[in-house]
Structure 1
Amino acid sequence: MNTDSSDVRSPVPYALRLIDPDLLASWRAEERPSEDVALVASGGERIRCCLRDAAAGERLLLVSYSPPLPAPSPYAETGAVFVHAEKCEGPERLDRFPPSWEGRPQVLRAYDERGCIHPATRVHEHGSTHDAVAALLAEPGVVEVHSRNLAYGCFMVAAVSGPTPSRRA
């Protein structure tokens, strides 16, 4: 896995792809599988519906999630993610990596159009995560990048090439 970002191409604009709102609604309506858990945040849990860390006392759901890939693939994975138990306002921006998550060690897993892991995949530990994601999306053949927690491997957020509104609707 490449850990050096000095050899990547010029960055491109990208959009963060969030968990489908209908799926979030079904989890919140308790139509979710019984292995999912409702809990009260200790503080610091990374919330995937609004792309920020939880404050102590917030009501969360810990759910099983399989982020979509560009195509059906043997690389599809399912893992645990935290979301708010009630509807939230979502992230402040969709055109940048969440500021509170910037610079945290993570795996930036690149995918090609077949849903296969691309060799541009890397561990990102220093510098701007936003710039690293944009540069990976500029690599030939990369169509999507997933940020994953370095220690646990949990999915954090997906990024795809292209412009997006800078603020939530």
Structure 2
Amino acid sequence: MSSYDRANSTFGSLVIAMGIIVGILLVMALVVAGRREEHIPSVDYRLDAAELRDTAAYTTYVPGESLPDGWVATSTNLDTDGPVSWSLGFATPGDRHAELAMSDADPDDFIAETTRQGEPNGSSEVGGESWERFEREADPDEKPRRALVKREEGATVIVAGSASFDELETLADSLDPQT
């Protein structure tokens, strides 16, 4: 006949409970480790680009094949009521934000709004064309805002964001006119 030993029974239950807890923690660690890579949702902007092309009375642009891998279109906003305006947001390979914006609104107002009151800061030569540079220093809670601006007949094209000027120049250089 075996005798019941309360001390061994309690220790055995403790070992089983600890094993279950460790198992749960390992499963949770594996799930979290598998999700470490950030997934940036992308949008298809082709419909807005086509509507812009058909609606706007100015030359419109879209990023072309020369835009390198790693650029992800994350937002599109087309406004055809009043001034025809479009903005297309991107996550850059450098984990920054860039935006292509164009409009036939008053150029000075559109530039001030899109650059967030940025100040002129020289120029960049992109694809054989001169683009004005604008920059707004960062507030303590925000990232700096940089912009490249090209004034065209009837419209203003702006590439802006927290991206570096090099990244903004890459986006600007990729722009192809829509026909």
Q: Specify if TM > 0.5.
A: no
What TM-score does the superposition give when structure 2 sets the normalisation length? 0.28
Q: If each structure's strand is expressed as a fraction of its own residues, which one has the higher value?
A: 2
From the CA coordinates, give the structure whose radius of gyration is larger.
Answer: 2
What TM-score does the superposition give when structure 1 sets the normalisation length? 0.29
Q: If each structure's helix is expressed as a fraction of its own residues, which one has the higher value?
A: 2
The higher-RCO structure (CA 8 Å, 6+ apart) is 1
